[in-house]
Amino acid sequence: MNRIYFVLLFILNLSIYSQTSLPDWSKGIVWYQIFPERFYNGDTTNDPTADKVFVNHNSIPNNWHITKWTSNWFERSEWEYELGGNFRDHLFERRYGGDIQGIINKLDYLNHLGIKAIYLNPVFEAVSLHKYDASCYHHIDFNFGPNPIGDKISYQNENPENPETWQWTESDKLFLKLIEEVHKRGMKIIIDGVFNHVGIQFWAFQDLVKNQFNSKYKDWFIVEKFDDPHTSEDEFDYKGWWNIKSLPEFNRTTDDLADGPKKYIFNSTRRWMDPNQDGDPSDGVDGWRLDVAREVPLGFWRQWSKLVKSINKDAILIGELWELSPDFISENGVFDALMNYNFAFAVNDFFVADKNKISVSAFVKRLEEIDRNYPATNLFSLQNLLTSHDTERLISLVKNPDRKYDRDADERNKIYDPSKPSSNDYEKEKMIIAFQFIYKGAPMIFYGDEIGMWGADDPHCRKPMIWSELSYDDEVIDSSSGFSKGLGRYEVLPNFDLYNFYKKMISIRNNNLSVRVGGQKILIADDDKKLLALERFLNDERIIAVFNLSEFIKEVPLQINFGKEVLQNLLTNKFENKFPEISGNSFVLYKIISLNK
């Protein structure tokens, strides 16, 4: 009897902790990250209004309005001057009008580019432009849909704690249409789960502010002191994320979130993963990116991940984890993958750095360290990004080398250059992109990087997307911008040469199974010659990439079986019977073709 008991207990524990099942579709897939407010304004009738933007402020400036999509980023509106301060001070109060309809309108653009999966920054109702300050989790932002006023009215007739009272707003319905349109095109879509903190307009927090100790939601948050009604002062205090009071944190134990917010999060999760609750998750999102994942108790993630996989076993869970995280990504881990910032760190120190460039062998060791930390199969699903909404733009990273990643990348660094990059910068970027798309993993593009957008660190990396059908004002950088370098006037145009290169690299990945899910071998790691070569292989398919980081022409010390094999240049489609010399600071991509077939 005891033996049967312990066997059952072992099976139960296994079901609790071995809860992630890596979806095959995520292996080697090409991701595209969209910051919704800045991607495309598909419906100008739903643009945010000043009363929402400034709801947490003491006053609303006169003549506040949506900023023109195509305007000079460094030009201030009258209302920005009225508020005073420096140029940077009011960028977070700007709105450009990006919405869900805008994303739908541009799905064919993404499909044509070759994108197979989309990651959306937060889309739930929130005051800010970035939406990491949710007012609720069960509705899409009212200004992302066609009827903001009507959605707000219907929301006020609900009990947010009771999912049986939840309505489907027009914004919600449009988001479900987005999911449908994404799936029609054979693509996947995931959304941001921000479950550590909310905004001060969050419905339960608003009740707490009003009712203080008598609020039924007082245990949802970490209250440090309630207001004393017998004094004229407001003593109410609480814990905000990183002490940011606009982002109150949920209450928690050492290994779980408080029961109230956890139940609400679980109900909201069900809503977006299987909207009609029929047991078929095909009408829901395909997974989640989890914000500040390490700051949320691991016990909560275990339970939540189990819920997600019970709804859709093929959903993917990606943690925002900037450090190596085998405790989260393992055979018994709670997530399938992470935003692979360690990949970006290594690429920055090898491909981007100039005077501080690490050696070829050191670069390979950094990549091997990533490999050692995760199960072999999960490596194909790691989200290999180069930049994101939290960093400077990729091309601006290239233009400003020899810095630690995500450091000293804005106007506070007096030698940082935010101006339009040179043609040489874009050529250097191509080599970085080539490596990103040949290396194992799931490469991700931050919206606009493929068209050459530049910009310093947040918030400058979040400029409105450049679209070819629009005409943009020149970007004029003067001393009032706060920057000390790069002052001048710059034409804003899409870089079609770069776009076509991205499209080519995506096509190579999509059309060669060896690049998506095949084996990988380092063929050359020569520190003296500054040569790096790697091979991707699967069955008889073999692709070789060679990178020359020196300034000089180098021979490639690799051989093929002459007479039985030939090299196909994947960028030009020309054929060679031997590896040609490779120019300095350049790369070649070859597919080995057997002549016996």
Do residues 387 and 397 make contact, with C-beta atoms less than 8 angstroms apart? yes
Rounded to whole angstroms, the Cα distance separating 529 from 490 reads: 38
Can you give the pTM of this predicted structure? 0.95
Per this entry, what is the length of the chain?
Answer: 597
Token pair of 367, please? 């990549």
Strands 316-319 and 287-290: parallel
pLDDT at 206: 98
* Helix ranges (DSSP H) in 18-99: 50-53, 78-83
471 DSSP 8-state letter: -
pLDDT at 560: 85
Q: Which residues contact 444 (CB under 8 A, 6 or more apart)?
A: 30, 31, 32, 33, 119, 339, 383, 384, 385, 388
Rounded to whole angstroms, the Cα distance separating 259 from 314 reads: 27
In degrees rounded to 5, what are phi and psi of residue 588?
-135, 150
pLDDT at 15: 40
Do residues 533 and 520 make contact, with C-beta atoms less than 8 angstroms apart? no
Residue by residue, pLDDT tens for the chain (597 residues) are: 444 433 333 334 434 334 458 999 999 999 999 999 999 999 999 999 999 999 999 899 989 999 999 999 999 999 999 999 999 999 999 999 999 999 999 999 999 999 999 999 999 999 999 999 999 999 999 999 999 999 999 999 999 999 999 999 999 999 999 999 999 999 999 999 999 999 999 999 999 999 999 999 999 999 999 999 999 999 999 999 999 999 999 999 999 999 999 999 999 999 999 999 999 999 999 999 999 999 999 999 999 999 999 999 999 999 999 999 999 999 889 999 999 999 999 999 999 999 999 999 999 999 999 999 999 999 999 999 999 999 999 999 999 999 999 999 999 999 999 999 999 999 999 999 999 999 999 999 999 999 999 999 999 999 999 999 999 999 999 999 999 999 999 999 999 999 999 999 999 999 999 999 999 999 999 999 999 999 999 999 999 999 999 999 999 999 888 778 999 999 999 999 899 899 999 999 999 998 876
pLDDT at 3: 45
Do residues 514 and 543 make contact, with C-beta atoms less than 8 angstroms apart? yes
Q: Which residues contact 537 (CB under 8 A, 6 or more apart)?
A: 514, 518, 519, 520, 521, 543
Query: Residue 252's beta-bridge partner residues?
Result: 257
Strands 117-120 and 31-34: parallel
pLDDT at 562: 76
Rounded to whole angstroms, the Cα distance separating 537 from 329 reads: 25
pLDDT at 442: 98
Do residues 141 and 131 make contact, with C-beta atoms less than 8 angstroms apart? yes
Tell me, letter by letter, the H, E, C secondary structure of 348-383: HHHHHCCCCCCCHHHHHHHHHHHHHHCCHHHHHHCE
Rounded to whole angstroms, the Cα distance separating 333 from 298 reads: 10
Do residues 160 and 203 make contact, with C-beta atoms less than 8 angstroms apart? yes
Rounded to whole angstroms, the Cα distance separating 514 from 383 reads: 18
pLDDT at 1: 40
Longest dimension (CA), the chain: 93
Domains plus CATH for the chain?
29-196+254-504 (3.20.20.80), 203-243 (no CATH), 518-594 (2.60.40.1180)
Q: Nearest Cα to 405, choosing from 385, 384, 421, 391?
A: 391
Q: Which residues contact 469 (CB under 8 A, 6 or more apart)?
A: none
pLDDT at 597: 61
Q: Return the residue matching tokens 């078929």.
A: 280
Rounded to whole angstroms, the Cα distance separating 182 from 118 reads: 9
Q: How big is the chain by its Cα radius of gyration, in Å?
A: 25
